[in-house]
């Protein structure tokens, strides 16, 4: 069967595209998702992400190739395999990014993508709990809730410590500036996850011109004789299926899935495709390259006062939290564990905030055993994690064979530049400075790890290499730009040289944004949908 538009991937971007392209009824839209529906209770409750972290039914559970910069370790790369995509399984921290991030997109030759251009789209996207303002909207589908006033007392002590060091404080990371310490916003609505599946897709599933198919594994694109993308080939429940697109095929399969589909279809770097055994249809050198991600490590502390470790480790406390959540939609179960944090300059000569911090009133370790749960450390504890805002290392996501069922080879190439290594030291020193400020130091019994004996720059770098992990902000693998030799899509998100084909998801980011990337990914989808409709003559 043919449709006007085929959207591949019902993730953070795809759910928005499906809604907007089918909204006025003129066009038929097919949305294809490799996973199932997100109808479990655990997808709605914020704390439920702990149950999807190692669940192969809803998570692709990718692993990187061995990373030279991280002592040869393979790094876990979770990706949502369910309606809503990674937006269904993330920790819901809502950060748009720094204004300069988007100005850099525009300066790289992408007209219409400056912060001034995208701010109205961000506002249209959201209903902010504080109401409408110059910086926020109050009529959008995604509900944004500040966690201010609901945080754990030790999170408040972290902010007091920032003030004692004369670090700037920030009441709204999505306002006039991203710089400073503060409390994060989350995308929740009365304590429930507010993401593109819940707010854009579920309410419109009964539209006659919108069809959603689940458990569809797209293998490759189909092309007309003139080279136009006009459909896809897929497998669903063991059966081979083909779907036709009269107008466009839109890839929204994410930073891993979208380049994989392009490469399997013969679109990519000719040498990469030949090495993988795929015939070259069009040489597009940047496909699967320019991979960026935020790399994070945590410092663990033993506290003198009870933290969420104590709360989550006791059955009767968990029962109370559950009751509080069910009756009032409030409490720890309604929030992200990433309560406070901020964006800071790691050194006086840094031109912009380059270090992001996360303060968690809960200390926990990520288990290496997928069958183990995320459990708190066996003491009253907290952690402070950090990552570089704009790492300069670049990696790749490349297929290794023509087999669509084979996972691509993910090589983030972490810590490949001197700047990224230097920022490891900056972030480590910043964490230590804040932890030593009186407001938090008086509540701290000891630094558990890396521990006070880890003091030199070299020792801190070694700790980071041995313990750092992805913070799951993969992007850039179908980079937007004007040059077909260095980018994959143009400023209207059309694949260079391939009519009828666009990519609209986080893979088009020219550079990773400061902070969590779910909000800018949804912005890209909203803006991209407007471009598609404008080009269709709306």
Could you tell me if 385 and 299 are in contact, meaning their C-beta atoms sit under 8 angstroms apart?
yes
Query: What is the sign of the dihedral through the CA atoms of 357, 63, 528 and 84?
Result: negative
Q: Which helix (H) or strand (E) holds 102?
A: helix 99-107
* Calpha distance 265→263 (Å, rounded): 5
Collapsing DSSP to helix, strand or coil, 392 comes out as coil
Distances (CA, A) of 466 to 71, 75, 251, 373, 536: 6, 11, 35, 21, 51
Checking DSSP bridges between strand 282-283 and strand 267-268, what pairing results, if any? parallel
Active site residues per annotation: 473
Six token digits for residue 97: 């990014």
* Calpha distance 42→59 (Å, rounded): 14
Q: What DSSP string describes 19-33?
A: HHHHTTSSS-EEEE-
Collapsing DSSP to helix, strand or coil, 477 comes out as coil
Alpha helices in 142-292 (DSSP H): 153-164, 196, 254-264, 270-276
Could you tell me if 92 and 186 are in contact, meaning their C-beta atoms sit under 8 angstroms apart?
yes
Q: Which residue reads 């993330």 in tokens?
A: 90
* Calpha distance 428→277 (Å, rounded): 44
* Calpha distance 363→479 (Å, rounded): 36
Six token digits for residue 28: 């038929």
Residue of 236, 209, 233, 237 whose CA lies nearest to 222: 233
Compute the chain's Rg from CA coordinates: 22
Alpha helices in 456-517 (DSSP H): 457-467
Collapsing DSSP to helix, strand or coil, 82 comes out as strand
* Calpha distance 226→179 (Å, rounded): 50
Q: What DSSP string describes 235-250?
A: EETTEEEEEEEEEEEE
């Amino acid at each position: 069967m043919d449709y006007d538009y085929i959207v591949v991937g019902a993730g953070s971007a795809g759910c928005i595209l499906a809604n907007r392209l089918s909204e006025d009824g003129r066009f038929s839209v097919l949305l294809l998702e490799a996973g199932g529906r997100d109808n479990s209770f655990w997808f709605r409750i914020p704390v439920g992400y702990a149950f999807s972290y190692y669940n192969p039914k809803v998570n692709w559970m990718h692993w990187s190739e061995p990373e030279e910069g991280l002592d040869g370790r393979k790094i876990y790369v979770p990706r949502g395999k369910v309606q809503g995509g990674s937006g269904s399984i993330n920790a819901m921290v809502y950060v748009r990014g720094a204004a300069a991030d988007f100005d850099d997109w525009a300066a790289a030759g992408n007209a219409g993508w400056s912060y001034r251009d995208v701010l109205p789209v961000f506002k249209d996207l959201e209903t902010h709990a504080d109401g409408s303002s110059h910086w926020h909207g109050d009529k959008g589908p995604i509900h944004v809730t500040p966690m201010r006033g609901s945080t754990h007392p030790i999170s408040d002590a972290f902010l007091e410590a920032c003030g004692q060091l004369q670090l700037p404080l920030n009441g709204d990371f999505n306002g006039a500036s991203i710089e400073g310490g503060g409390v994060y916003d989350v995308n929740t609505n009365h304590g429930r996850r507010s993401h593109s599946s819940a707010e854009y897709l579920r309410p419109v599933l009964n539209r006659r011109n919108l069809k959603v198919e689940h458990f569809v594994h797209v293998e490759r694109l189909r092309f007309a004789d003139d080279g136009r993308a006009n459909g896809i080939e897929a497998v669903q429940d063991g059966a081979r299926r083909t779907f036709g697109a009269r107008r466009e095929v839109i890839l929204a399969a994410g930073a891993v899935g979208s380049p994989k589909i392009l490469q399997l279809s013969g679109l990519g770097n000719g040498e990469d495709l030949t090495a993988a055994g795929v015939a070259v249809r069009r040489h597009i050198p940047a496909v699967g390259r320019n991979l960026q991600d935020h790399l994070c490590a945590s410092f663990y502390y033993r506290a003198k006062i009870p933290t969420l470790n104590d709360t989550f480790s006791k059955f009767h406390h968990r029962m109370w939290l559950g009751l509080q959540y069910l009756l009032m939609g409030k409490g720890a179960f309604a929030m992200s564990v990433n309560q406070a944090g901020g964006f800071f300059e790691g050194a006086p000569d840094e031109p912009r905030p380059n270090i992001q911090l996360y303060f968690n009133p809960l200390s926990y370790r990520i288990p290496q055993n997928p069958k183990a749960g995320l459990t708190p450390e066996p003491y009253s504890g907290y952690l402070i994690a950090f990552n570089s805002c704009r790492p300069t290392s670049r990696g790749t996501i490349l297929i290794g064979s023509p087999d669509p069922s084979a996972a691509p080879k993910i090589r983030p190439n972490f810590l490949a530049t001197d700047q990224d290594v230097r920022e490891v030291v900056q972030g480590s020193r910043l964490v230590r400075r804040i932890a030593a400020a009186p407001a938090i130091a008086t509540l701290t019994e000891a630094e558990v790890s890396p521990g006070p004996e880890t003091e030199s720059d070299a020792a801190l770098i070694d700790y980071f290499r041995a313990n750092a992990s992805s913070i799951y902000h993969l992007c850039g693998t179908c980079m937007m730009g004007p040059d077909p030799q260095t980018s994959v899509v143009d400023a209207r998100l059309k694949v260079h040289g391939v009519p009828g084909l666009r990519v609209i998801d986080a893979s088009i980011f020219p550079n990773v944004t400061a902070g969590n990337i779910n909000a800018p990914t949804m912005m890209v989808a909203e803006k991209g949908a407007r471009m598609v409709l404008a080009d269709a003559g709306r």
